[in-house]
Chains A and B, each alone.
Chain A
Amino acid sequence: MEEASKVSRYLYTLIILFLIWLALTASLDEQELIFGFVLSAIVAAMTYPIFTTRGLANLHPKRVAYAIAYAPYFLWAMIMANLDVAYRVLHPKRPIRPGIVHCKTILKTNPGKLSLANSITLTPGTITLDVDGDDYFIHWIWVPDEVLHAESEEVHVEKASENITRPFEKFLKVIFG
Chain B
Amino acid sequence: MNALAALGEVLVLIGTFFYFLSTLGLIRMPDVYNRMQTSTKSATLGSLGVIIGVGIWAVGNGLSWAWLVKATVIAVFLLLTNPISAHALIRAAYKSGIPLWHGSVVDKYREHIEAKEKVETEAPQEGGEE
> Which positions in A face B, CB cutoff 8 Å?
20, 23-24, 26-27, 78-79, 81-82, 85-86, 88-90, 94, 96-102, 117-118, 121-122, 125, 127-130, 132, 135, 137, 139, 141, 143, 147-148, 156
Contact = CB atoms under 8 A, between A and B. Distances in A.
Contacts of A94: 28-29
B4 interface: no
Most buried by A among B18, B37, B87: B37
Contact of B41 (A27, A81, A135): A81
A99 to B, nearest CB: 4
Most buried by B among A85, A118, A147: A85
A132 B112 contact: yes
Contacts of A135: 112
A82 B108 contact: no
Interface in B23-40: 24-25, 28-31, 33-34, 36-38, 40
Given A20-B73, A24-B73, A26-B69, A89 B38 contact: yes
Interface string B66-107: 100110110000011011101100110010000011011111
B91 A129 contact: yes
A20 B72 CA distance: 11
B106 A141 contact: no
A-B residue pairs, 9 tightest by C-beta:
A26-B66, A121-B83, A99-B106, A102-B108, A26-B69, A118-B83, A137-B109, A99-B105, A89-B25
A118 B108 CA distance: 20
Contacts of B106: 99-101, 143, 147-148
A151 to B, nearest CB: 14
A100 B113 CA distance: 13
Nearest to A160: B108
A76 B94 CA distance: 30
B21 interface: yes
Contact of B45 (A27, A79, A125, A141): A79
A24 B70 contact: yes
Contacts of A141: 34, 37
Nearest to A84: B41
B105 A96 contact: no
Given A89-B24, A143-B105, A98 B42 contact: no
B90 A139 contact: yes
A98 B34 contact: yes
